[in-house]
C-alpha cells in the first residue's frame, strides 16, 4: 500500500531531489535543499513524498498555507511531480487528495496552484480529474537584484 512521508530533515528533503528535479530542472541539489529549508523555516512550506508498495519514492508535493485577501485562508501547491517512469498510476491524484484532506483538517477551504502554460497534460489532469477551475493567469516580472 502506498504511504505518505513528510520530508522535514535535510536528508529527507535531499532524498526527493531526483524526482523534484524533473519539475524544477533549473535547480541544482544544493540550491534546492537551501530553498526548501528556508521556505520551511520562513513560509511554513511542507514537503510530502508518496512511496509505492515497495517503499520507493515515486512522487512529491510541496505546499504551504497562505492568507491573501483574494482567497482568504488557503493552501498553495508550489510543486507537484511524479517520477516520469511512474506517471498515470494515480500518484499525483493521491498526493493532491492528501493535501486536500490536510487543508480541510487544518481549516483551509481552498487549495490553489499555478501551472506552466506549456503543461497541457497537467491542465487536463487538474481540470478533469481533480475538478480544479481555471480562474486566473499568473504574471511574472524578473527584476535584477
Alpha-carbon distance values, 109 to 71, 98, 141 (Å): 9, 14, 29
Q: What average pLDDT does this structure show over 71-99? A: 96
Query: What pLDDT score does 107 carry?
Result: 97
Report yes or no on 61 lying in a domain.
yes
* Edge-to-edge strand list for the sheet holding 3-6: 3-6, 46-51, 57-68, 72-82, 111-113
Q: What average pLDDT does this structure show over 119-129? A: 92
In percent, how much of the chain has pLDDT > 90? Answer: 91
Report yes or no on 94 lying in a domain.
yes
Distance CA 26, CA 111 (A): 26
Tell me if residue 67 falls in helix, strand or coil: strand
First-last CA distance in the chain:
47
Question: What is the count of structural domains for the chain?
Answer: 1
Report yes or no on 134 lying in a domain.
no
* 27-71 pLDDT per residue, tens: 999 999 999 999 999 999 999 999 999 999 999 999 999 999 999
In percent, how much of the chain has pLDDT > 70? Answer: 100
Least Cα distance to 118 among 5, 2, 1, 25 occurs for 25
Report yes or no on 21 lying in a domain.
yes
* Parent domain of 26: 3-129
Tell me: pLDDT of 75 over 90: yes
Q: What average pLDDT does this structure show over 121-129? A: 93
Report yes or no on 67 lying in a domain.
yes
Report yes or no on 25 lying in a domain.
yes
Tell me: pLDDT of 7 over 90: yes
Tell me: pLDDT of 11 over 90: yes
Q: What average pLDDT does this structure show over 66-88? A: 96
Residue 73's domain is classified under what CATH number? 3.40.630.30
Query: What pLDDT score does 1 carry?
Result: 82
Report yes or no on 145 lying in a domain.
no
Report yes or no on 137 lying in a domain.
no
Q: What average pLDDT does this structure show over 124-142? A: 93
Amino acid at each position: 500500500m502506498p504511504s505518505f512521508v513528510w520530508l522535514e530533515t535535510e536528508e529527507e528533503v535531499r532524498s526527493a531531489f531526483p524526482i523534484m528535479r524533473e519539475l524544477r530542472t533549473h535547480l541544482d541539489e544544493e540550491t534546492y535543499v537551501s530553498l526548501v529549508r528556508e521556505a520551511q523555516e520562513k513560509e511554513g512550506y511542507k514537503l510530502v513524498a508518496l512511496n509505492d508498495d515497495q517503499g520507493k519514492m515515486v512522487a512529491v508535493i510541496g505546499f504551504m498555507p497562505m492568507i491573501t485577501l483574494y482567497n482568504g485562508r488557503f493552501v498553495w501547491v508550489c510543486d507537484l511531480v511524479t517520477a516520469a517512469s511512474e506517471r498515470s498510476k494515480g500518484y499525483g491524484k493521491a498526493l493532491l487528495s492528501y493535501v486536500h484532506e490536510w487543508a480541510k483538517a487544518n481549516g483551509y477551504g481552498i487549495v490553489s496552484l499555478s501551472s506552466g502554460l506549456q503543461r497541457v497534460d497537467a491542465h487536463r489532469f487538474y481540470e478533469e480529474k481533480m475538478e480544479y477551475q481555471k480562474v486566473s493567469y499568473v504574471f511574472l516580472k524578473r527584476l535584477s537584484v
